[in-house]
Amino acid sequence: MEQPRIVSRDEWLAARKALLAREKAHTREGDALSADRRRLPMVKVETSSYMFDTADGRRSLADLFEGRSQLIVYHFMMGPGWAEGCPSCSFLMDHLDGVLTHLANRDVTLVAVSRATLAEIDAFKRRMGWQFPWVSSYGTAFNRDFHVSFTKDEVASGKMHYNYAEQLFPSEEGPGFSVFVTNVQGDIFHTYSTYGRGGESVLGTYHLLDLVPKGRNEDGLPFPMAWVRHHDRYSAHAGAGESTCSSHS
């Protein structure tokens, strides 16, 4: 990649201040966008059949709130029979164990949901050393209803409803976040879902890479996250091979 120019300190400072003005404008626009996101209308979740296998037995969607009024679900790509979760989803969840206490103190519960069985989830979760709650939606319509699971026929045809469009997604499972809120009557509402690069906002590694001259250094890769590994595999596969899935659709 092309290296930055070498300049005097004064020239660097002028360039840095010009960029700072753009950064501040970007931050203010991001604040406005977040406010608009919070003002989105919401839809009542009518389905009462969403039941999940958890470490504490069968639990409803309402139970997943754990007494709080707001719930963030991460749709983790791990289907029935998978020996391990998607590397890109794993990369994302590596960033979230430490936020659970902070979210809980802001009236928010975070949980990952996958169609893999609870036994398959638990085995991989132990391998990764994660603590966040991760439950199984196996046998329910939850993933289909929130457009993150697809049939083999849909994958073969390239026609699946993902990220608010009919498009090809190269897997029977897709990533995303969905947000729910409950009221004092116990009604549950769906307020927001984001897919593809919508989850990138939680990827602190990417934000740090964006600070350095080489950046994400993903030009020429088969897809942007092809370098990502499960965190226990970097020493054995440093810089080689490809990830098996991508959240950049």
With CA atoms as reference, report the closest residue to 42 among 199, 184, 181, 183.
181
List, in order, residues 6 or more apart from 214 with CB less than 8 Å away: 1
The pLDDT value given to residue 238 = 56
- 14 and 135 in a single domain? The answer is no
The pLDDT value given to residue 246 = 52
The pLDDT value given to residue 49 = 79
- 21 and 95 in a single domain? The answer is no
The pLDDT value given to residue 249 = 44
Q: Count of residues for the chain? A: 249
The pLDDT value given to residue 2 = 78
- 48 and 137 in a single domain? The answer is yes
- 30 and 139 in a single domain? The answer is no
- 17 and 86 in a single domain? The answer is no
User: Could you tell me the residue range of the domain that residue 26 belongs to?
Assistant: 7-39
List, in order, residues 6 or more apart from 76 with CB less than 8 Å away: 85, 86, 89, 93, 112, 113, 114, 134, 175
- 19 and 137 in a single domain? The answer is no
- 185 and 168 in a single domain? The answer is yes
Asked if the model's pLDDT at residue 248 lies above 60, the reply is no
Asked if the model's pLDDT at residue 237 lies above 70, the reply is no
- 148 and 88 in a single domain? The answer is yes
Mean pLDDT of the chain: 93
Residue 213 and residue 209: Cα distance in Å, rounded? 8
Residue 92 and residue 86: Cα distance in Å, rounded? 10
Contact present, 195 and 147 (Cβ < 8 Å): yes
The pLDDT value given to residue 230 = 97
List, in order, residues 6 or more apart from 218 with CB less than 8 Å away: 224, 225, 226, 227
- 99 and 16 in a single domain? The answer is no
Confidence of residue 157 (pLDDT cuts 50, 70, 90): very high
**Number of domains the chain contains:** 2
- Over residues 15-42, the pLDDT tens digits come to 999 999 999 999 999 999 999 999 999 9
- 134 and 184 in a single domain? The answer is yes
In a domain, 78, yes or no: yes
- 197 and 81 in a single domain? The answer is yes
| Long-range residue pairs from 9-17, CB within 8 A, at least 24 positions apart, any chain | none
Confidence of residue 235 (pLDDT cuts 50, 70, 90): confident
Asked if the model's pLDDT at residue 202 lies above 80, the reply is yes
